Amino acid sequence: MAILPTGTELVPIGSTLKAGDILEYNSLVLAAQVRTWGGTPTRYPIIPDNMDTICRFVEDAAKGHDLILLNAGSSAGAEDYSAQVVEKLGLLLVHGVAIRPGHPVILDWLIGMDLLLGRRMTVRALSKFL
């Protein structure tokens, strides 16, 4: 499973935080959960909010993984590119589920593989999904 954290506001653990920064830790939690299930996670570096850049990383991840989890915004923010990335690279199946937390989840079929996309509260939402 490829885990791709996105967001210009995300910074690695250990960074000096500035106003508006958010520590990126969801990929660590998700990778640990994947290992618990017997999977092999690949954590990608933080990807800035840029549609073309996100598309490139998703396409790269698709080459070597059976499943991609794009941990990103998927609602209506100006830099929430998840749905657009899905529409460009695959088939958008679901955009939003009726559970909280986690209702702006996106599911799609990408280049013959599964792609899960969820907002940054994915770690909490994942427990409901599974």
Q: What pLDDT shows up at residue 115?
A: 54
Q: If we measure between CA atoms, which residue out of 102, 112, 127, 128 comes closest to residue 30?
A: 127
The pair phi, psi for residue 36, each rounded to 5°, is: -60, -35
Q: Please give the DSSP secondary-structure letter assigned to residue 84.
A: H
Average pLDDT estimate for 121-128 = 47
Cα distance between residue 99 and residue 86, in whole Å: 21
Does the structure show a pLDDT above 60 at 26? yes
Task: Give per-residue pLDDT as tens, 56-115.
Answer: 999 999 888 888 888 876 555 556 787 788 888 877 766 666 666 555 555 544 544 555
Look up the pTM and report it: 0.76
